[in-house]
Structure 1
Amino acid sequence: MDLTGKGVVVTGAGHGIGRALARRMAAGGARVVVNDLDAEAAEAVATEIQGYAAPGDAASAVGVAALVERARAALGDIDVWFGNAGIDRGNGLDAPDEDWSAALDVNVMAHVRAARLLVPDWAERGAGRFVVTASAAGLLTMLGSPTYSVSKHGAVAFAEWLSATYRHRGVVVQAICPQGVRTRMYEDAGALKEVLSHDSVLTPEEVAEAAWAALDGDRFLVLPHPQVQDYYAARATDTDRWLGGMNRVQQHLDQKGDS
């Protein structure tokens, strides 16, 4: 896909993977709207890439509508939407309802609300791209955090539904599903850093490069860690064996916590 002059929006683009995506798309010739709750960070990235800063909430219905309106004012057409903003909030079975609500709102409903405003127009003109930053947790699971695991599964499921429903009308949908990435979320992962770094820990720039390469070919799953494909297949073909292996990892984490 030639992004020269195309209008691109990246949510959660003030830091980490979002910032790397914004930089990579701008380097490829796109006109980029940079969104983040951190207004100062959004402004800094937008200035760096000569893009447009649109700080604010990218999850609530009001916030998403405001962002789409501002992006269209800056870009004209929105050609590509990177729904990258995400949160990891709430651990264990005792995670409060407030954390569940926040995780589902940001990690799932933000995509639903954006798609409602973007996809009808794309389907009418026969072109548009919706890219969800999910996680390998959305294909496998995330030990420790049921809110993150369930919400990222939901993000992948919604992306699958969009693709199945609209691909014949020119709407390309993709899901980026990395494992460990050197972001603030990874640095705050505590004992889970050992699990996340089992294969390798990528930089945000490496994830963005994988996303850039995936624009050519339109494949649904973007897997910066190629090993995830094998794990995903193993989970599907022998679920009990997969769950047994994950439980052994959990036991290891439990033992470390008790020591």
Structure 2
Amino acid sequence: MEVAGKVVVVTGAASGIGCALASRFSELGAKVVISDVNSDGVALVASRLGALGVTTDVGDAAAVDALVAAATAEYGPVDIFCSNAGYSDAPTAGLTGSVEDYQRIVDVNLLAHVWAAKAVVPSMVERGGGYLLQTISSASLITGPSAPGYTLTKHGALGFAEWVTLNYGHLGVRVSCLCPNAVYTGMFGLEAGDISSTPPDMGALGEVMKSSDVANFTIDAMMTTEPFLVLPHTRVADSFLRKATNYDEWIAGTRRRLLKMRQEQ
């Protein structure tokens, strides 16, 4: 896939992976649209990159339609849509979260991918192709200490991405799912616009990658092999293979590790 001259929309682009993706696409000559719910962060990053900035709540289908309309009016039809925005509920919440809490995380982490596809895929098909990059998480492949709402939505997002590529891949719509493990992002306190700060030691999370390294890895993969799964952390692929080889054994072993982690907290 060539990037230069392409119209690229990146959501959740005020910080972390989204900001790093937008920065790298811009360096490669793409026409980038910065989107985030954080209006100050949008203004900061858009100004730095000389890009169009649009404040957007991706959990709102009408807002996603408006984002795509703004991008199209400014640069032309969207070639690459990076559905990157997301957040996590509290791991300690268990099943005590409110209906509103669950609905909100479903809107942002799951349905936002649906709204993005509905907004751009028809045009991509008409023009012979396009690219959806969905930032999901290793939690879509390997359930671990993540919160229930996060786990639920990430599994659903991966399933939806599979559905899109199965039904639209032959029409030129390519789909990649970025499924990293721990990355230093706004979820861990990274400031807006920061993509290269050295991650702190996060103990049990293992290797914590810089957002810029994840973005570079991802875009390199998109420009070469165009894989469905983009896995910057090698241990994710290893863990997923162990899970697929013996599901019951994986569940038993993971349950033991989670219990031990909770006892040590």
Alignment TM-score > 0.5, same fold? yes
Secondary structure at 2:134 match in 1: strand
Report the alpha carbon displacement of residue 251 of structure 1 after superposing the two structures with TM: 1.1
Report the alpha carbon displacement of residue 34 of structure 1 after superposing the two structures with TM: 0.1
Counterpart residue type for residue 11 of structure 2: T
Aligned partner of 2:70 in structure 1 is: 70
Secondary structure at 2:8 match in 1: strand
Aligned partner of 1:220 in structure 2 is: 228
8 Å Cα contact 1:127-1:171 kept in structure 2: yes
C-alpha separation in 1, matches of 2:76 and 2:253: 50
How big is the alpha-carbon RMSD for the aligned residues of Structure 1 and Structure 2?
A: 1.4
Gaps of 5+ in 1: none
8 Å Cα contact 2:144-2:258 kept in structure 1: no
Secondary structure at 2:209 match in 1: coil
8 Å Cα contact 2:59-2:104 kept in structure 1: no
C-alpha separation in 2, matches of 1:195 and 1:83: 28
Report the alpha carbon displacement of residue 141 of structure 1 after superposing the two structures with TM: 1.2
**Taking structure 2 as the reference length, what is the TM-score of the superposition?**
0.91
Paired residue for 1:253, among 242, 256, 261? 261
Counterpart residue type for residue 237 of structure 1: T
Paired residue for 1:104, among 97, 103, 106? 106
8 Å Cα contact 2:125-2:172 kept in structure 1: yes
Q: Decide whether aligned partners of structure 1 residues 186 and 113 sit closer, same or farther in structure 2, where only a CA change above 3 A counts.
A: same
C-alpha separation in 1, matches of 2:189 and 2:47: 27
Relative to structure 2, which stretch is displaced further, 138-147 or 206-215?
138-147
8 Å Cα contact 1:180-1:186 kept in structure 2: no
Report the alpha carbon displacement of residue 184 of structure 1 after superposing the two structures with TM: 2.7
8 Å Cα contact 1:142-1:148 kept in structure 2: no
C-alpha separation in 1, matches of 2:70 and 2:119: 13
Report the alpha carbon displacement of residue 56 of structure 1 after superposing the two structures with TM: 2.1
8 Å Cα contact 1:58-1:67 kept in structure 2: no
Equivalenced residues, count: 251
Q: Decide whether aligned partners of structure 1 residues 187 and 47 sit closer, same or farther in structure 2, where only a CA change above 3 A counts.
A: closer
**Taking structure 1 as the reference length, what is the TM-score of the superposition?**
0.93
Relative to structure 2, which stretch is displaced further, 141-150 or 131-140?
141-150
Aligned partner of 1:203 in structure 2 is: 210
C-alpha separation in 1, matches of 2:141 and 2:10: 22
8 Å Cα contact 1:13-1:19 kept in structure 2: yes
| Identity percentage of aligned residues | 39
C-alpha separation in 1, matches of 2:205 and 2:252: 18
Relative to structure 2, which stretch is displaced further, 119-128 or 91-100?
91-100
Gaps of 5+ in 2: 191-201
Q: CA deviation digits over 1:151-190, x for unaligned, max 9?
A: 00111111111011111100000100000101231359xx
